[in-house]
């Protein structure tokens, strides 16, 4: 079921999103060579507790952690691990969902550990640019396919990367995952028409190589690129409004100026 949010509900989701964004900003000082990915999990849990928020992922279909931490060829749903020590050049994706007094927000961000490379820098830029191209299509009257089509064309046709098909964006609030599905591929002009009050995530997962994923990890959760290539992801929660798409998990008020609620 699709729920249309009131301005008050969207404001509450923005408060949740600000907590989530603050956690991501804090990770910039945490993620460095030599730490384990478990330190990221500990930081997130502490941050949410200090801000009177709940890590909504814990307990979802049996998932045990506040964060998904996926490294290098791991596309998504990687576990935080005490024995996974981060090193220079690792590409880390941290995905997490916050519940603040019933208001949901969902955001994944990518970080490079220590020294980066031109290959990683380009992948990260293309993935983030793809996210914003998708957000620009999240207009009242447009269709879901408009979002996916622009992302797929930019990442695959223009940049030669793989645009993951197996995992997609979704509606959010009052529950973590709800309708509509928001693929990052597809055909413009097709699919559900967007309406004011919808709240969705856009979260492209882009691989240097093939778009195909392998989902045979023994933990039953983690997905990897089928060819072992690097994968990157950025995700925002946003509201569809008559004044355009509004990002509810912004980390950059300057870049996101036109996407912020007034």
Count Cβ atoms below 10 Å from residue 29 Cβ, excluding itself: 8
Q: Known binder of ligand: residue 24?
A: no
CA distance 148 to 133: 10
Residue 51 annotated as part of some ligand binding site: no
DSSP state of 113: -
Q: How far is CA 41 from CA 31, 96, 99, 105, in A?
A: 11, 10, 16, 17
Tell whether residue 235 is among the known ligand binding residues: yes
- Answer yes or no: is 73 a known binding residue: no
Is there a binding annotation on residue 106?
yes
Distances (CA, A) of 196 to 141, 169, 241: 9, 18, 4
Q: How far is it, in rounded angstroms, from Cα 209 to Cα 195? A: 35
Q: Is the CB of residue 213 less than 8 Å from the CB of residue 226?
A: yes
Question: Which residues participate in the annotated binding site for a divalent metal cation?
Answer: 95, 106, 170, 203, 235
Question: Which residues participate in the annotated binding site?
Answer: 77, 95, 106, 170, 177, 203, 235
Question: Which residues participate in the annotated binding site for substrate?
Answer: 77, 177
């Amino acid at each position: 079921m699709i729920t249309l949010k009131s301005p008050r509900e969207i404001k509450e989701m923005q408060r949740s999103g600000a907590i989530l964004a603050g956690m991501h900003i804090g990770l910039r000082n945490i993620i460095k060579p030599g730490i384990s990915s478990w330190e990221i999990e500990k930081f997130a849990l502490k941050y949410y507790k200090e801000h009177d928020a709940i890590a909504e992922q814990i307990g979802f279909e049996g998932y045990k952690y506040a964060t998904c931490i996926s490294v290098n060829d791991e596309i998504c749903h990687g576990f935080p691990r005490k024995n996974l020590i981060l090193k220079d050049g690792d590409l880390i994706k941290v995905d997490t969902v916050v519940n603040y007094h019933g208001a949901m927000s969902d955001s994944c961000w990518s970080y490079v550990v220590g020294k980066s490379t031109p290959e990683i820098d380009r992948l990260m830029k293309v993935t983030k640019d793809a996210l914003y191209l998708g957000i620009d299509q999240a207009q009242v009257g447009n269709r879901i396919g408009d979002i996916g089509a622009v992302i797929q064309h930019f990442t695959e046709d223009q940049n030669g990367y793989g645009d993951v098909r197996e995992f997609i964006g979704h509606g959010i609030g009052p529950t973590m995952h709800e309708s509509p599905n928001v693929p990052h591929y597809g055909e413009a002009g097709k699919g559900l028409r967007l309406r004011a009050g919808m709240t969705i995530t856009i979260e492209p997962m882009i691989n240097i190589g093939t778009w195909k994923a392998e989902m045979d990890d023994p933990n039953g959760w983690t997905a990897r690129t089928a060819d072992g290539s690097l994968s990157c992801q950025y995700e925002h929660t946003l509201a569809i409004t008559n004044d355009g798409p509004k990002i509810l998990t912004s980390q950059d008020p300057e870049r996101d100026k036109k996407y912020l609620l007034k």
